[in-house]
Amino acid sequence: MPVVCFSDEPNVCEFVFRDVPDFTVRRSGGDCPVPDLYLLSRCRHFAVANSSFSWWAAWLGPGAFSIVYAPLLWCVFEPTQQPVPSRWRAMENAVRTP
């Protein structure tokens, strides 16, 4: 199954995930993020960062059989804010505290 990474740091992603088979980094096509948000929302499964961009893509896009992995701790400065829906799989220790 192909793995596509959407990031504002594509060179870092290419280095960190260089050993992942069938891995591609989506490089943004311009100043408008809408095409990337649309493409990301069309993915089958998601591993989201603690960002509104990836959160919205996963929220808009999952089908009945989609799996969404998200950080359990979303904001280190306001730990009471937990926007991870119960159907998503929350990952502990995914966000480092400063």
Q: How confident is the model at residue 30 (pLDDT cuts 50, 70, 90)?
A: confident
Predicted TM-score of the model (pTM): 0.79
Is 70 exceeded by the pLDDT of residue 97? no
More confident call, 29 vs 27:
27
Q: Among 25-29, 40-44, 69-73, 86-90, which stretch is predicted with the lowest mean pLDDT?
A: 25-29
Cβ-count burial of 74 within 10 angstroms (0-12 exposed, 13-18 middle, 19+ buried)? Answer: buried
Q: What is the pLDDT of residues 53-75, one digit of tens each?
A: 899 999 998 777 899 999 887 76
- Determine if residue 35 is left, alpha or beta; phi over 0 gives left, psi from -120 to 50 gives alpha, anything else beta: alpha
**Domain edges within the chain:** 3-91
